């Protein structure tokens, strides 16, 4: 959970080379560069029919996985979750599943806010910078897909 993702993605704050005398002082005020490390989102429930959609795995593979759960996995109901950018993909998957079920799959979407934590680590350990953490929010979606047709025995 604390494993850094996207290491060294950006440095905060960015120190610009000073252009004028007056700004040079401002730059000196904050000489420490930080590496922003995004912690993974808080662990959420993981049942067999919970699918967490991400942007790294191939879209078709994730769609196929959901389809398999519904078709062969013996699940009448699955939950597709998406966070941030992956919301779009989660919706897309849910709507595709619905389309391929000829409308038998009933979708119920809920939205929520997920708190995310970033770690700010000083680039240079010798500098006076203290490690910091920062909290931010991101939106999430949770789509419950339920087969509304009675299943043949």
Binding site residues, another protein, CB under 8 A: 12-13, 42-47, 59-60, 63, 84-85, 87-89, 91-92, 94-96, 99, 106-113, 115, 132, 134-137, 139-144, 146
Taking the complex as a whole, the smallest distance from the CB of residue 25 to another protein amounts, in Å, to: 18
Strand (E) or helix (H) holding 21: helix 21-29
CB-nearer residue toward another protein: 4 or 95: 95
CA distance 57 to 63: 10
Quick one: which H or E segment has residue 23?
A: helix 21-29
Minimum distance from residue 73 beta carbon to another protein (Å): 17
Cβ contact 145:76 at 8 Å: no
By beta-carbon proximity to another protein, the closer residue of 130 and 152 is: 130
Secondary structure of residue 149 in the 3-state scheme:
coil
In the complex, the smallest distance separating the C-beta of residue 102 from another protein, rounded to whole angstroms, is 13
**Judged by CB, which is closer to another protein: 51, or 63?**
63
Measured distance CA(52)–CA(61) in Å, rounded:
13
Pick the closer one to another protein by CB: 25 or 110: 110
Rounded least distance, CB 153 to another protein, Å: 25
Question: Contact, 66 vs 93, CB < 8 A?
Answer: yes
């Amino acid at each position: 959970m604390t494993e850094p993702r996207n290491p060294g993605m950006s440095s905060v704050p960015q120190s610009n080379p000073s252009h004028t005398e007056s700004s040079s002082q401002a730059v000196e005020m904050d000489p420490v560069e930080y590496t922003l490390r995004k912690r993974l989102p808080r662990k959420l429930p993981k049942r067999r029919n919970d699918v967490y959609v991400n942007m790294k795995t191939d879209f078709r593979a994730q769609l196929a996985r959901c389809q398999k759960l519904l078709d062969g996995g013996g699940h009448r109901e699955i939950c597709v979750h998406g966070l941030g950018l992956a919301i779009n993909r989660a919706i897309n998957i849910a709507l595709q599943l619905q389309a391929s079920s000829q409308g038998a799959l009933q979708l119920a979407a809920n939205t929520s806010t997920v708190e995310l934590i970033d770690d700010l680590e000083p680039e240079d350990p010798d500098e006076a910078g203290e490690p910091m953490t920062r909290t931010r929010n991101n939106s999430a979606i949770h789509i419950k897909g339920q087969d509304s047709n009675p299943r043949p025995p």
